[in-house]
Amino acid sequence: MTKEKPSPLKPSRLWKAGILLAFVVFLFLFPRMSSSNYIVSIGVTFCTFACLGVSWNIIGGYAAQISWCHSSFVAIGAYTGFLLFNHFGISPWISVFAGTGISAVAALIIGSISFRLRGPFFSLCTIAFAEIMRVWLLFQKNLTQGANGLVITFKQESFVNLMFRKDDAFYYILLVMLILYMLISWLLQRSRPGYYLRAIKVDEDAAESLGIKTHRIKLFAFVLSAVMTSAVGTIYAFFLTYIDPASISSMDLATRIGTMAVVGGAGTLFGPMVGALALVPLSELANVLLGSSGSGMLLYGGLMIIVIIFRRGGIVSLFSGDGAPVPALLKKLRGKGQAKNGGDSGA
């Protein structure tokens, strides 16, 4: 019936590229804009949660397999990094690989057990794993100090050991990671697994009866997602310098990670980052204004419900796709402007 023409794509694509470039430049200049270490630390939190959201999105967004154990992968990365550093003086740049390795194996096991069955089975398995992980960390007192948590003591400024006097360095490291993660996500979207995941998300029976090995693709996505999450965990832990099961291996954190992607737009390239961009400053503000760290969670829960009820596609869906209110509004405004100009701007 209607044949969409490709012509209006070009300027909008140019616009998108321009906005993206400006945003990247802004992100790189961000720490220079304020002398406050607190502001920079919010930047670090943004980069961290954007990275985590992008990672979660690979299994939770593209494949719509909701994971509740991404905090466990953060914890694996964090604890591996701390333990190897404290006991053997191993640089986090090396222990990052140990952490990702362990996370990959964990994801492989959870996935192999649960992906054979459909429905909520995967989600339930991740909840079980998250609880096992948290309890295990609490009770392995010799290794993890249980609820007391682990500390890294600052010795001297060192890139190798991820010790910095100011948070700028962490900010840039995590920003580079974010760009890398976005790149991975973008590549995934355009490659075979990305297409298969989107088909699996809609209809596993159809996908499978057309030859797609759904089990294997989901497993791949979950392992990739776990590995990416775990790597962020190691770096982020060195920024925090203190970790304990309650903060780093909690359902709270798992929920926060998923919320980034869902609020921003699950299953989209920019969704998780946009989600982090909106949520991290907001929850920081809520904490300052309302004075407790619980208010942040309330905010997450509330926004999540609003998104699920009113706009499944999340924030990014306001700007893209059919029926998006923002482009429609712009078009309207532009249309009016042209009418006023007498319509001489034809070409």
Partner 1 sequence: MAAILELKDLCKSFGGVHAVNHVSFKIEKGEILGLIGPNGSGKSTCVNLISGVYKADGGDVLFEGKSVIRTSIAGRSRMGIGRTFQSPKPFTGLTVFDSVYTIAMQTRSYKEASKISGEILEQMGLSQYEKMRCEKLPIEKRKWLDMARVLVTRPRVLLLDEVMAGLNPNEIDESVALVRRVNKSGITVLFIEHVMKAVIKLCSRLVVLNDGRLLTSGDPDTVMNDPKVIAAYLGRGYHHAEND
Task: Name which of 201 and 311 has its Cβ closer to partner 1.
Answer: 201
Cα–Cα dist 158/130, whole Å: 33
Smallest gap from residue 56 Cβ to partner 1 (A): 19
Q: Output the smallest distance, CB 12 to partner 1, in A.
A: 15
**Residue 3 CB, nearest distance to partner 1 (Å)?**
5
Q: Which residue has the tokens 């979660």?
A: 56
Residues 233 to 272 in contact with partner 1, rule: CB under 8 A = 267
CB of 240 vs partner 1, minimal distance in Å:
38
Q: Which residue in the set 10, 87, 160, 205 belongs to the binding site for partner 1 (CB under 8 A)?
A: 205
Q: Is 91 exposed, middle or buried (0-12, 13-18, 19+ CB in 10 A)?
A: middle
Q: Taking phi first (over 0 means left), then psi (-120 to 50 degrees means alpha), and beta for anything else, what does residue 204 get? A: alpha
| Joined tokens for residue 20 | 């993206």
Sole binder of partner 1 in the list 3, 32, 87, 155 (CB under 8 A): 3
Indicate which single residue of 40, 74, 152, 212 sits in contact with partner 1 (rule: CB under 8 A): 212
Contact status: 62 vs partner 1 (CB under 8 A): no
How many angstroms separate the CA atoms of 269 and 187, rounded?
Answer: 10
Structure tokens at 56: 């979660």
- Answer yes or no: are the C-beta atoms of 271 and 316 closer than 8 Å: yes
Q: Within a 10 A sphere around the Cβ of 16, how many other Cβ atoms? A: 13
**Contact call for residues 92 and 238 (beta carbons, < 8 A):** yes
- Rg value, the chain, Cα: 22
| Number of Cβ within a 10 Å radius of residue 182 | 19
Nearest-approach distance from CB 315 to partner 1, in angstroms: 17
- Which residues ranging from 95 to 124 are in contact with partner 1 (CB under 8 A)? none
Q: Does 157 bind partner 1 (CB under 8 A)?
A: no
> What three-state secondary structure class fits 249?
coil
Among 118, 165, 192, 334, binds partner 1 (CB under 8 A): 192
214 binds partner 1 (CB under 8 A): yes
> Residue 203 interacts with partner 1 (CB under 8 A)?
yes
Tell whether residue 312 is a contact of partner 1 (CB under 8 A).
no
Q: For partner 1, which is the closer residue by CB, 157 or 203?
A: 203
What CA–CA distance (Å, rounded) separates 291 from 230? 30
- Residue recorded with tokens 């009113």: 310
Structure tokens at 17: 């590229």
Could you tell me the smallest distance in angstroms from the CB atom of residue 226 to partner 1?
24
The correct pick among 109, 132, 206, 329 for binding partner 1 (CB under 8 A) is 206
Please give the Cα distance from 259 to 7 (Å, whole number).
36
Q: Closest separation between CB of residue 304 and partner 1, Å?
A: 21
For partner 1, the binding residue among 196, 222, 238, 239 (CB under 8 A) is 196
Nearer to partner 1, 45 or 268 (CB): 268
- Options 76-84, 154-162, 165-173, 190-198: segment touching partner 1 (CB under 8 A): 190-198
Cβ distance 233 to 76 under 8 Å? yes
If phi > 0 it is left, if psi is from -120 to 50 it is alpha, else beta; for residue 286 that is: alpha
d(C-alpha 53, C-alpha 2), whole Å: 37
Q: Which of the stretches 78-86, 91-99, 200-208, 242-250 binds partner 1 when contact is defined by CB under 8 A?
A: 200-208
For partner 1 (CB under 8 A), the number of binding residues is 24
Residue 11 beta carbon to partner 1: minimum distance, rounded to whole angstroms: 18
What tokens appear for 301 in the block?
């829960």
**Distance in Å, CB of 207 to partner 1, minimum:** 8
Binding footprint of partner 1 on the chain (CB under 8 A): 1-4, 192, 195-196, 198-199, 201-203, 205-214, 267, 322
